[in-house]
Amino acid sequence: MSSHTESHGAHSPNEAPHATHEDAHYIKIWAILVALLVVSVTGPMLEIRVVTLLTAFGIAVVKAFLVAKHFMHLDTEKKFVVQLLVVCLGLVFLFFMATSPDIMKHFGMNWVNESAKNANIPEKIVHHGGVEGAAEHAEGAAEHAEGAAAPAEGAPAHPAGEAH
């Protein structure tokens, strides 16, 4: 008896059945994935923020769904396996939601993250001629100007003209 028969024959009666598809089905899914890849590369070329977010990240979610469902066969896998993966993803999300203020904000009540503040504010002033997208830093404008004198983190490698 081959190992294949042994392994599959050894499955218990309550084991999740895995869908068997013909090769053409998988090739069709691959073609859809490639088409989505083309859209995700060409979409951001329009340089419209909403289109970039939708085509790059929205399509990434769709591609991930297609791979998980059709290639990893999660649609026919036991429910607890899907729940296991979703719980892990949820825990990571919760953790980052809880810690995000520490990373994304550079100052608050009685605290200032000097290195983070100096790293990004001068760059924006130099490249954009203003504190673009930094409304949350308004109260620290004086500190921004002071930070502008200091070299930005990694700035020497990139001349100001290269900013996008």
Partner 1 sequence: MVKPIATLRSATGVPTGRLAVWWVIASEIVIFGGLLGAYLLHRLGHPEWATYASHTNTWAGAFNTLVLLSSSLSAVLAHNAAEKGNGARAANLLLVTCVGALTFLVVKGFEWTHEIQEGFTITANGFWSFYYCAAGLHGLHVIAGAIIMLFVAADARKNQELQRVELIGIYWHFVDLVWIFLFPLLYIAK
Instruction: State the nearest-atom distance from the C-beta of 125 to partner 1, in Å.
Output: 10
The residue (of 63 and 146) whose beta carbon lies closer to partner 1 is 63
Cβ atoms of 137 and 109 closer than 8 Å: no
Own/partner long-range contacts of 18-26 (Cβ < 8 Å, ≥24 apart): 18/73, 18/76, 18/77, 19/73, 19/75, 19/76, 21/70, 25/70, 26/70, 26/71
Kindly state the greatest CA–CA separation across the chain.
78
**Distance of closest approach, residue 118 Cβ to partner 1, in angstroms:** 11
Which residue bears the tokens 């490249």? 127
List the interface residues with partner 1, window 96-135 (CB under 8 A): 96, 99-100, 103-106, 116, 119-120, 123-124, 127, 132-134
Q: How far apart are CA 105 and CA 117, in angstroms?
A: 9
The nearer residue to partner 1, 44 or 143, going by C-beta atoms, is 44
Per rule CB under 8 A, is residue 3 in the interface with partner 1?
A: yes
Site for partner 1 in 145-164 (CB under 8 A): 152-154, 157-158, 162-164
Closest distance to partner 1 from the beta carbon of 2 (Å): 5
Q: Phi and psi (nearest 5°) for 40?
A: -70, -25
Tell me the site size for partner 1, rule CB under 8 A: 75
Nearest-approach distance from CB 43 to partner 1, in angstroms: 9
Integer Cα distance of 21 and 7 in angstroms: 20
81 binds partner 1 (CB under 8 A): yes
When binding is defined by CB under 8 A, the residue of 46, 48, 72, 145 that contacts partner 1 is 72
Q: How far is the CB of 142 from partner 1 (least distance, A)?
A: 20
Between 127 and 146, CB nearer to partner 1: 127
Burial code (b: 16+ CB inside 10 Å, e: under 16) for 118-145 equals bbbbbbbbebeeebeebeebeebeebbe
